[in-house]
């Protein structure tokens, strides 16, 4: 039987429509919607395209959006002063600094300068700590793990008591999603195993998984025979494996052999069109959450 495809593109549309509705209600009740500032330093084409997409999405859901572009040679002190300005701006609920920053600026110093209550990327150590505590302590969840959990929930996959295996232990995907799935709460209460390059029997662990989350960055790492029949498989990997000569665009592949895996899994995410589109939707959701908390609406 072929697996049900969990489409990130479709779920993103649903989430953005829900956010837009809430923003309209917020504006009617409180006289303002969420405010987001995106700070871009320099003119790297990749960074420009990421920022443009974030700005476009924020405007599409009705946010007050400031795109604050800064020259490549801005000093670290001036960038920190800019962040301080937005930390103290009551119309701004979320601050995004597009990475990477130029070499003369310390990324960590800049990210740590963002007030944790406006850190909608959820990279600040305070937000990492809040995630670990769980429950009401959490203000924002990091966007890619939050997107993964949302896909699991919206696909109707039971998580309570499920065996979850997470391949990868990075700070941005593997560790946070593992912790989130192990917490008490909706879309969680799972029994979680984290596997990595030092794991002795990778295949054996994967075969036990009711929910297999793969974030390794290795194309086709997970073989179809490692998948438990009926499992939900979330493929986070985005690997450029060539170039489409007609379109000039990169050919992307996940960490799971999708074509064969979909004949065994119960539900599976594709690459592209799976986890990728969810990240930006969760960024918008975090900004909405921030505004709701500031306004006392949550």
Catalytic residue ranges? 54, 98, 121
Q: What does the buried/exposed string (b/e) look like for 241-268 if buried means 16 or more CB atoms within 10 Å of the residue's CB?
A: eeeeeeeeeeebbbbbbbeebbebbbbb
Q: Is 198 in the site for ligand NAP (CB under 6 A)?
A: yes
String marking each residue 259-278 x if it binds ligand NAP according to CB under 6 A: ----------------xx--
Residues in CB range of 10: below 8 A, 6 or more apart: none
Q: Kindly calculate the radius of gyration of the chain based on its CA atoms and give it in whole angstroms.
A: 20
Considering CB under 6 A, how many residues would be counted as binding ligand NAP?
A: 25
DSSP state of 167: E
CB of 235: closest distance to ligand NAP in angstroms?
A: 9
Q: Is 279 in the site for ligand NAP (CB under 6 A)?
A: yes
Q: Report the residue number, 83 or 122, with the smaller CB distance to ligand NAP.
A: 122
Q: How far apart are CA 145 and CA 179, in angstroms?
A: 10
Tell which one of 3, 51, 173, 209 touches ligand NAP (CB under 6 A): 173
Q: Report the residue number, 209 or 215, with the smaller CB distance to ligand NAP.
A: 215
Among 131, 98, 137, 132, CA closest to 114: 98
Positions in 230-249 near ligand NAP (CB under 6 A): 236-239
Q: How far apart are CA 6 and CA 10, in angstroms?
A: 8
Q: How far apart are CA 219 and CA 239, in angstroms?
A: 6
Q: Is 221 in the site for ligand NAP (CB under 6 A)?
A: yes
CB of 245: closest distance to ligand NAP in angstroms?
A: 23
| DSSP assignments along 96-114, one per residue | EEPSPPPTTS-HHHHHHHS
Q: Which residue has the tokens 């930006």?
A: 280
CB of 239: closest distance to ligand NAP in angstroms?
A: 6
Q: How far apart are CA 214 and CA 211, in angstroms?
A: 10
Positions in 119-148 near ligand NAP (CB under 6 A): 144
Q: Report the residue number, 162 or 271, with the smaller CB distance to ligand NAP.
A: 271
CB of 244: closest distance to ligand NAP in angstroms?
A: 19
CB of 197: closest distance to ligand NAP in angstroms?
A: 3
Q: For binding to ligand NAP (CB under 6 A), which residues are involved? A: 144, 167-170, 172-174, 195-198, 202, 215-218, 221, 236-239, 275-276, 279
């Amino acid at each position: 039987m072929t697996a049900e495809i969990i489409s990130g593109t479709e779920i993103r549309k649903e989430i953005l429509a829900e956010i837009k509705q809430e923003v309209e209600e917020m504006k009617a009740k409180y006289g303002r919607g969420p405010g987001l500032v995106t700070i871009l330093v320099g003119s790297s084409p990749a960074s420009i395209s990421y920022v443009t997409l974030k700005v476009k999405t924020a405007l599409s859901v009705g946010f007050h959006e400031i795109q604050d572009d800064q020259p490549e040679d801005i000093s670290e002190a001036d960038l920190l002063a800019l962040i301080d300005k937005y930390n103290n701006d009551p119309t701004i609920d979320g601050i995004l600094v597009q990475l990477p920053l130029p070499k003369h600026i310390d990324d960590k110093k800049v990210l740590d300068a963002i007030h944790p209550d406006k850190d909608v990327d959820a990279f600040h150590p305070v937000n990492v700590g809040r995630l670990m505590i769980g429950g009401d302590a959490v203000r924002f969840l990091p966007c890619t793990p939050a997107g993964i959990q949302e896909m699991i929930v919206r696909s109707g996959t039971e998580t309570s008591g499920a065996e979850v295996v997470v391949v990868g232990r990075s700070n941005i995907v593997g560790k946070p999603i593992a912790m989130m799935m192990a917490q008490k709460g909706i879309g969680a209460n799972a029994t979680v195993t984290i596997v990595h390059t030092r794991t002795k029997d990778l295949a054996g662990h994967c075969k036990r998984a009711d929910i297999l989350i793969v974030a390794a960055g290795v194309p086709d790492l997970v073989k179809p025979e490692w998948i438990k029949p009926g499992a939900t498989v979330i493929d986070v990997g985005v690997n450029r494996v060539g170039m489409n000569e007609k379109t000039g665009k990169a050919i992307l592949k996940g960490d799971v052999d999708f074509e064969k895996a979909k004949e065994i899994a119960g539900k599976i995410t594709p690459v592209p069109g799976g986890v990728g589109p969810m990240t930006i939707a969760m960024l918008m959701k975090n900004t909405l959450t921030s505004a709701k908390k500031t306004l006392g609406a949550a």
